[in-house]
Structure 1
């Protein structure tokens, strides 16, 4: 790539050098006097300026949350306004390794290493003085720095490197003693950062919080003409919006007729910053698209009917494809509008109450899940879904229902057994998921903040509609939604 160039400017005096002289004479190294401030602001106006994005080793971009005024963080999975900084090269000329630079967020405040380094980094300085100056270092090389190069930023006063702790997902500190992985950033000029899809942004963010934070979620079942009924109820109780909104395609005729209302709510929630999830309580292919709960969704297929369903081209297989086809316009509409959705079909595979569940082995329930995945993604081109594989806490043979790593992105466990959020269940999900995210797919009683601290890999929990109010007091709901390890909608980065 071509080097990043800028016009040469005339420097009156190097502030870092001036600061060191003042330190030797016993004066403060931050020297925020009126005269010095005026000199520094004049120099900044004359210096070369570039709009840049900085991506940490893990793929998270440095972000000035809300444009500035708070801590510098490394949680964002793509480069937008809050991830864009004005880099001022105080040395002038072509940007070189060793040059002294400042960074300014879109809100007009400078990135600042408090007391010159050794602790937190913020984006709140009203002017650029010593604490706001950094030496840019080319990692693994010297000389000219180009867009796409690996760099590190070192405080000019304390000598510490900016570090995205744990490779990103939280605050950035000025504590690095050398330029290692956490201290390595990729510098992109505005517009040159890799483009990511909404699906990648949501999934990358979910992966980034695994082990530290849990998204608060709420399901909204019937009626589909009120698709935010229980989300609104949670907001009314807690004053906060669930970070995950969940809807359902459902099975009753009146709810099937209202699917567009539900999908429009999904788009609205996604635009507001929520993670969106869709479920599908479907009717068996031996009945009509609309059916009853008892004797419909809750029913059995004979072994011969099941085998026919799995046989491509058979009558039941054609009916099943027609049912899936009817979901495609809704999913395509989400894709066309840039909405990524978690999709959790044929949930609670290991319980045999639903017509699709309780069948082990390669031709069992997991095969229907695989067929649905392949038909939607490969045949219909629906590539905006994040696939959730779901079981319930009533048996431990999860591997008998696992469709395979290629078929799911998140493994979820539904909690309805009376013994609650035990370590045994947590460990069982960790074992089956490997390094992939795990989630509390459904629950009536919500986990406490302490339970989530002890089991930090749960990336979201989802309360089940009205059951949340049967099992949790208003105080308990307020407490979990206010917990520092639980994320509500306003605390998520946004996706569009």
Structure 2
């Protein structure tokens, strides 16, 4: 296995804000200065392809096949003896004031796992499957094509969105170690917008309104003192060119990482879509000086015993990908898993994938000094 590394953590203190009502401001007058650790993370993400490709999984340490809520566990760790270098979590239902998110994981547990992953030297990314504020439905409720417009300034749900963003800000600001270090996070709002299965999707709002929603989100979180976020722009596989990929791009000043989500539904289509998107996003990342990642991918149930080494890794090798993240291993839904577990048909191949010098797991990234500026 490639070299193991240790992450040096510096200290930075912040005050905790609370979740409450928001003021109606169009923009912040000055961009919030990010913490040194957050700035260092961005530099590390850009440099990471020189070391290899970090492997990540959604909800890796909170449940898996046949278990839920155990401490110090993940299916990935059970297979290869190591945690993913990147862990993803979701804030869906935090806007409703609930104790648990949409996958029934408590926000207290998510907070603890985020801090633990940072203390271990890993990377954290957060998505937000936010409920539909106009209809009361979930993220997939696309029955009202005016939802996004209603959230913008003078819209009937604008104040509601600000209250919901207060809850997000409160959570992000609460991500602090015992020493007061604020944990950097890659935040991925309004993702997969080039499809139309979410209420913020392409056919549900205009280009101008989508960009305005992004900027409102960014500006308001900055106003609330959230200074530990990098922002990821994450379409699906619908774009066929750089111009199409950038059609709803909210701006270089508020985007730090560019990526895409791509799943296997047909193996030939997957190879074609991944190749197309990797070429497009590489060009965008190069032209706009952004970090690059495959922000979601995977093959549900992984029915190919050599998928890791014969499909996924060869696809990524020639591109400057900082990380690739597969989706969750659901404990409460049959045949909904994207990483192997002990006894799975792809277990041996995943170990070979883990041992490849180009793949980076937690112990591999522990000496890259991800959170220090002078590398």
Q: Given the two structures, how large is their TM-score scaled by the length of structure 1?
A: 0.55
Residues of 2 paired with 1:317 and 1:275: CA distance?
Answer: 32
Q: How big is each residue's C-alpha offset from its partner over 1:259-308, in whole Å with a ceiling of 9 and x where there is no partner?
A: 122111100111011101111110011245xxxxxx52111263444322
8 Å CA contact retained: 1:223, 1:255: no
Q: Which residue of 1 aligns with 2:333?
A: none
SS at match of 1:439: strand
Q: Alpha carbons of 1:231 and 1:459: their partners in 2 closer, same or farther (altered >3 Å)?
A: farther
| Correspondence 1:286 to 2:111 | no
SS at match of 1:210: helix
Residues of 1 paired with 2:69 and 2:254: CA distance?
Answer: 28
Q: How big is each residue's C-alpha offset from its partner over 1:314-353, in whole Å with a ceiling of 9 and x where there is no partner?
A: 3301111111111222111125532101111111111110
Deviation of the 1:441 alpha carbon: 0.6
| Correspondence 1:389 to 2:237 | no
Map of 1:435-474 to 2, 5 A cutoff?
Answer: 435-445=289-299, 448-455=312-319, 457-466=320-329, 467-469=337-339, 473-474=346-347
8 Å CA contact retained: 1:219, 1:230: no
Q: Which residue of 1 aligns with 2:191?
A: 347
SS at match of 1:381: coil
Computed over aligned residues only, the root mean square deviation of the Cα atoms, in angstroms, reads 3.3
Residue of 423, 426, 430 corresponding to 2:278: 426
Listed as ranges, the gaps of 5+ residues in structure 1 are: 1-63, 68-75, 81-195, 289-294
SS at match of 1:200: helix
Deviation of the 1:211 alpha carbon: 5.1
8 Å CA contact retained: 2:61, 2:73: no
Map of 1:111-260 to 2, 5 A cutoff?
Answer: 197-210=36-49, 212-220=51-59, 232-251=74-93, 253=98, 255-256=100-101, 258-260=106-108
Residues of 2 paired with 1:254 and 1:475: CA distance?
Answer: 38
Deviation of the 1:375 alpha carbon: 0.8
Q: Alpha carbons of 1:451 and 1:320: their partners in 2 closer, same or farther (altered >3 Å)?
A: same
Q: Which residue of 2 aligns with 1:262?
A: 110
Q: Which residue of 2 aligns with 1:476?
A: 349
Q: Which residue of 2 aligns with 1:331?
A: 172
Q: How big is each residue's C-alpha offset from its partner over 1:384-434, in whole Å with a ceiling of 9 and x where there is no partner?
A: 101111011133321112111111111111111532354322111122332
SS at match of 1:338: coil
Residues of 1 paired with 2:72 and 2:352: CA distance?
Answer: 18
Residues of 2 paired with 1:367 and 1:227: CA distance?
Answer: 38
8 Å CA contact retained: 2:10, 2:181: no
Map of 1:369-384 to 2, 5 A cutoff?
Answer: 369-377=214-222, 379-384=223-228
Residues of 2 paired with 1:420 and 1:201: CA distance?
Answer: 33
8 Å CA contact retained: 2:297, 2:326: yes
8 Å CA contact retained: 2:191, 2:233: yes
Q: Alpha carbons of 1:367 and 1:231: their partners in 2 closer, same or farther (altered >3 Å)?
A: farther
Residues of 1 paired with 2:345 and 2:212: CA distance?
Answer: 37
8 Å CA contact retained: 1:231, 1:242: no
Map of 1:477-492 to 2, 5 A cutoff?
Answer: 477-492=350-365
Residues of 2 paired with 1:473 and 1:315: CA distance?
Answer: 50
Residues of 2 paired with 1:258 and 1:204: CA distance?
Answer: 31
8 Å CA contact retained: 1:78, 1:201: no
SS at match of 1:208: helix
Residues of 2 paired with 1:393 and 1:424: CA distance?
Answer: 9
Structure with the bigger percentage of strand:
1
Residues of 1 paired with 2:190 and 2:278: CA distance?
Answer: 22
Q: Alpha carbons of 1:330 and 1:254: their partners in 2 closer, same or farther (altered >3 Å)?
A: closer
8 Å CA contact retained: 2:133, 2:157: yes
Residues of 2 paired with 1:280 and 1:383: CA distance?
Answer: 18
Residues of 1 paired with 2:108 and 2:56: CA distance?
Answer: 22
Residues of 2 paired with 1:374 and 1:472: CA distance?
Answer: 47
Larger Rg: 1
Size of the aligned set, in residue pairs, is 302
Deviation of the 1:223 alpha carbon: 7.0
Residue of 385, 390, 399 corresponding to 2:246: 399
Q: Which residue of 1 aligns with 2:161?
A: 320
SS at match of 1:443: strand
Q: Alpha carbons of 1:247 and 1:303: their partners in 2 closer, same or farther (altered >3 Å)?
A: closer
Deviation of the 1:216 alpha carbon: 0.6
Q: How big is each residue's C-alpha offset from its partner over 1:438-480, in whole Å with a ceiling of 9 and x where there is no partner?
A: 111111135533332222x111000101231489711232122
